[in-house]
Every structure is written in structure tokens, then in C-alpha cells.
């Protein structure tokens, strides 16, 4: 059913972009009803505007908390034009017919993000605006609702094209957009009040970024989030679904390291990582662990990339490079390949959410992000052999790495360099054998290396195999009923073992 816009109620926080809408509505001889600051803005443009207080007969009260909340306003929005009883009541109570409602809500999320006080945040919970949105959207058969300034453009185009006439399909689309706004607004408020308890799940996200495809070309992919808040893309092609997964894994990993470090990731696992005095040295050590897997990988470092590092990194093909900064000379080198993605990591604090979500069956799994880190003071030596200081440093380095490696996971480290890892295996022995075979393949010496396991050893077989390969120290959570068997195997072979009491499964 087509409907002509004759009266518009306008109540907005931000006035930007409204002038063109008002001009078009005025050209169509639409009557304006408005509140406070919005009314002043409309009148400043030379348009007549009736105040909400004049319609309702009540002034704005309680410091502006109550303005539009009145039967004459909501009656004008909610009454059903085809309902005879509604028509009689509207006439009896002198309720105006309102055909268009334009609202822009108080900036609640922005106030929270800007560190507003509790009082400021509470005052930015919009009551009248959200009620207008819900009422107008509910009665979309008769009323057009514009719930955000982001919808001004389609409103303007509609007004120009149809000269104030709207179809039910038009109004239904705007109603859908309105409920998107209100649901997101309510979810943000709930998350603020529930930020400590985390008692329930409320997720609302708008305008997902369309990706080229999902994990595979036959799958659709979308990203919901603000990528630009965390990264500045300096160069390269459009970021893909798989790129995003690797970028998340890379940022999660590098966040655990304070010293100069560089990692190379492939399919969310580190295939190379090292800590060295310079980024170039860290790159060369990381690459040595697996130069084959590094091809097409994601590179991340926690230090600025200079010319020397860029020259070395530029020698192989990689998909993504992430760093907090780049020298101009480094960018001149890295920009030589047009498709490679160069990212400047600009916000470590906002990069990682405190909670992790995963869809499963007909619901979702939610857990806290694994932020547990172990220091030397957390290690319990359970063997006769005590690890040396350099071994302890390597054990802690390996323990951080294994935390970010798919289970079952084994990580072998020497001199703060990832020598090899076993990832995603169905047994811990398989993971260890995979790591040893990989180290041998690339002719990396395991004598004096250390081993980290993401979970306890159910039997002594892993430490026996590790000793034969030349490993001299082991870090693991402990907690197996057969822990003593592994401890005794270490004692027989002069291997040091420490336990942390913290498991790092990653599925």
C-alpha cells in the first residue's frame, strides 16, 4: 500500500547530513515536529517546526529525559490507519498522524569507548529515541522509520525518486534496518552492564565485510569487525578469509613476547620463530627452521622493519607482513611485489578480544582467551637435574610457542629459535616424532635443545625419545597419574624437567 509522507517527527543527536533531507521534505510540503536542539536546527534553516511540547501539552521534563514519551506522540506513530477503532480514538484525543520518524540515538558505544564516567555513560542510554524506533518500525505498514544517519542516503534517494510516496516494501526495508540499529544498541548496553559477570551472550554486528570467499572458493565469507582500528594496510591485495585467520594467530602469538622476536606462520601454526638482537637476525633464524613452509606464509614481528630486514624478507614469497612500523627504505623494497599485504599493527590493546567464540552444532562455545603466561618463578623442577639459566630461557620461550600451536603439540627450541614442532597430531608421540624428523630434514642440531608439550605425558615414551634425539630439558604441565614414570626416565638420562601446572590445549 502506497503512503504519502505528510508529517515527520525528527529527533536526532547528530545533525550532520540532515540538512539535505530537511530541504527535500520541505519541498514536498511535509510538516515538521521536533524536540529541543533538533527543532532549533530545523528553524535555523528557515523551516517552520512544531515543538513536541506543543503537540503533547507537556514540557520537556527531568532534565530532558522525558520529551517524546507521550500518548499524543506515540499514538500518532502507532495508530493503524485501516482500523476504525483506532481512527475514532485518534480523532477523539486530537492525535496527529505521523508518517515519518527520523531518529539518531545518543552515542552510547562512543561514550564507553572514549572512557566516559559512569554518569556520562548512563545518560547516553537513549530512552525516547529507542522507543520511537520500535514504535515506528512495528507500525511500518503506515510509518517510515529512519533509525540512524547511516540511512539518510537511501531516504534521500527515496524522497527524490518517489516524491514523498512510500510503498510497504520500502517501509519494511527501513523497519528491518531500524531493528538492526535497536538490537545492536541494546546489545552494547547489555555488554556494558555484564562486562564483569559475562553471564550471557549478546552479539550484534552490522555491515559485515564481504570477502572474496571463505576458507575455500565455494564458500561465502564475511568479516564482522573493525580491521582498520587495529591495522593500517600499507600495500597489497584484498585480505582474504584465510589471511584473517593467520593474522589473528600471528598477533596472538607475538603479543606474548617482549624481546625482539619474529615468527613465520602457516595455517595458524608457527613454522619458524626466533628472538634475536635485530629483526633481520630473527628473520634468518626463524626461516632456518622450515624454509619450505615459510613460502606463502604470514610474517609478524614486534619491532620496526628496517632496510636490512626488508632486504632479507623480500627474498622469498610471503602473503602478509605485520610490524608496528617500517622505515621508508624498507617499504620501497617491500612494495616491489604488488600483491603482498603489508600491515602496520597500530593497536595492540584493541587487537585481541577477551572472549573467544566458536559456532558449534546449533549453538556457540564461548571461552576466555588464553592469556596465561608462565615465568621462571612458576616452574617446578621435578627432576634431579636442574635446568641451566639458558635452558630455562629456552623452556619459557618454547612454552609460549606451544601455547599457540594446535594440539597435540610438541615444540623444540634451542637458543631462542624454534627448531621444529609437531602440530595437530592424534598422539603426543606422533607430534614429537614429526618435530624430530623435521629438524633432521633441515639438518638442525637437537643436542642441547629443549622440548615443550601443551599437555602432560601419559607415558614415559616421549621423554625417552626426546633424550635419544639430544634434548636436555623438558617443560610440561604435569598432572598425569604416570608423571613419576616420566620423571624417573629423565633422571636415568640426566634430563631436566619442569612442570607448570597449566595446560595449553589449542583445538
Task: Give the DSSP letter string of 399-426.
Answer: HHHHHTSPSS-EEEESSSBEEEEE-S-S
Task: Give the DSSP letter string of 106-143.
Answer: --HHHHHHTT--HHHHHHTS-SHHHHHHHHHHHTTTT-
What are the residue numbers of the active site? Answer: 138, 267
CB 466, CB 474: distance < 8 Å: yes
**How many other CB atoms are there within 10 angstroms of residue 376's CB atom?**
12
CA gap 40, 59 in Å, rounded = 16
What lies within 8 Å, CB to CB, of 435 at 6+ separation is 410, 411, 412, 419, 420, 421, 422
**Cα four-point dihedral sign 455, 456, 460, 463:** positive
What lies within 8 Å, CB to CB, of 38 at 6+ separation is 10, 11, 12, 15
Maximum pairwise Cα distance, the chain: 97
To 10 degrees, what angle do helices 152-162 and 18-27 make? 20
Contacts of the segment 190-194: beta carbons below 8 A, 24+ positions apart: 192/108, 192/112, 192/121
Q: Residue 146 forms beta bridges with which residues? A: 102
Q: Reduced to 3 DSSP states, what percent helix, strand and coil does the chain have, rounded to the nearest 5? A: 40, 20, 40
> Phi and psi (nearest 5°) for 398?
-65, -35
SS3 state of residue 464: helix
- Per the document, the length of the chain is 507
CA gap 418, 415 in Å, rounded = 9
> Phi and psi (nearest 5°) for 419?
-85, -45
Amino acid at each position: 500500500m502506497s503512503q504519502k509522507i505528510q508529517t515527520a517527527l525528527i529527533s536526532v543527536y547528530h545533525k550532520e547530513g540532515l540538512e539535505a533531507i530537511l530541504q527535500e521534505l520541505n519541498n514536498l510540503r511535509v510538516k515538521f515536529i521536533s524536540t529541543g536542539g533538533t527543532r532549533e536546527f530545523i528553524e535555523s534553516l528557515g523551516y517552520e517546526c512544531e515543538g513536541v511540547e506543543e503537540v503533547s501539552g507537556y514540557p520537556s521534563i527531568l532534565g530532558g529525559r522525558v520529551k517524546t514519551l507521550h500518548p499524543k506522540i506515540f499514538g500518532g506513530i502507532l495508530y493503524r490507519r485501516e482500523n476504525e477503532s483506532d481512527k475514532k480514538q485518534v480523532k477523539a484525543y486530537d492525535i496527529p498522524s505521523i508518517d515519518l520518524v527520523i531518529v539518531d540515538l545518543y552515542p552510547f558505544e562512543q561514550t564507553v569507548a572514549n572512557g566516559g564516567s559512569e554518569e556520562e555513560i548512563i545518560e547516553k542510554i537513549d530512552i525516547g529515541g529507542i522507543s520511537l524506533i520500535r514504535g515506528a518500525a512495528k507500525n511500518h505498514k503506515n510509518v517510515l522509520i529512519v533509525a540512524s544517519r547511516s540511512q539518510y542516503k537511501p531516504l534521500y534517494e527515496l524522497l527524490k525518486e518517489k516524491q514523498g510516496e512510500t510503498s510497504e516494501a520500502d517501509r519494511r526495508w527501513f523497519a528491518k534496518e531500524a531493528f538492526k540499529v535497536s538490537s545492536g544498541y541494546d546489545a552494547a548496553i547489555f555488554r556494558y552492564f555484564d562486562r564483569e559477570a559475562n553471564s550471557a551472550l549478546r552479539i550484534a554486528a552490522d555491515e559485515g565485510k564481504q570477502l572474496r570467499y571463505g576458507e575455500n572458493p565455494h564458500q561465502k565469507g564475511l568479516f564482522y569487525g573493525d580491521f582498520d582500528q587495529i591495522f593500517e594496510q600499507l600495500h597489497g591485495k584484498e585480505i582474504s578469509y584465510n589471511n584473517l585467520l593467520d593474522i589473528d594467530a600471528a598477533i596472538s602469538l607475538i603479543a606474548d613476547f617482549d624481546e625482539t622476536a619474529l615468527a613465520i606462520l602457516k595455517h595458524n601454526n608457527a613454522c619458524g620463530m626466533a628472538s634475536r638482537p635485530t629483526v633481520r637476525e630473527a628473520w634468518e633464524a626463524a626461516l632456518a627452521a622450515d624454509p619450505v613452509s615459510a613460502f606463502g606464509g604470514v610474517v609478524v614481528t614486534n619491532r620496526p622493519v628496517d632496510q636490512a630486514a626488508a632486504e632479507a624478507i623480500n627474498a622469498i614469497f610471503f602473503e602478509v607482513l605485520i610490524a608496528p612500523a617500517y622505515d621508508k627504505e624498507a617499504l620501497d623494497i617491500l612494495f616491489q611485489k604488488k600483491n603482498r599485504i603489508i600491515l602496520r599493527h597500530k593497536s595492540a590493546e584493541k587487537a585481541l578480544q577477551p572472549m573467544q567464540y566458536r559456532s558449534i552444532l546449533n549453538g556457540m562455545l564461548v571461552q576466555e582467551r588464553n592469556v596465561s603466561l608462565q615465568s621462571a618463578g612458576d616452574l617446578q623442577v621435578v627432576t634431579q637435574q636442574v635446568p641451566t639459566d639458558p635452558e630455562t630461557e629456552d623452556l619459557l620461550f618454547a612454552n609460549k610457542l606451544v601455547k599457540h600451536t594446535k594440539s597435540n603439540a610438541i615444540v623444540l627450541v634451542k637458543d631462542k629459535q624454534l627448531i621444529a614442532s609437531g602440530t595437530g597430531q592424534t598422539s603426543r608421540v606422533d607430534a614429537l616424532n614429526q618435530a624430530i624428523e623435521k629438524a633432521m630434514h633441515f639438518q638442525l642440531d637437537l643436542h642441547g635443545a629443549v622440548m615443550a608439550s601443551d599437555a602432560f605425558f601419559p607415558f614415559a615414551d616421549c621423554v625417552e625419545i626426546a633424550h635419544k634425539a639430544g634434548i636436555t630439558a623438558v617443560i610440561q604441565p604435569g598432572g598425569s597419574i604416570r608423571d613419576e614414570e616420566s620423571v624417573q626416565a629423565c633422571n636415568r638420562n640426566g634430563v631436566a624437567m619442569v612442570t607448570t601446572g597449566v595446560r595449553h590445549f589449542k583445538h
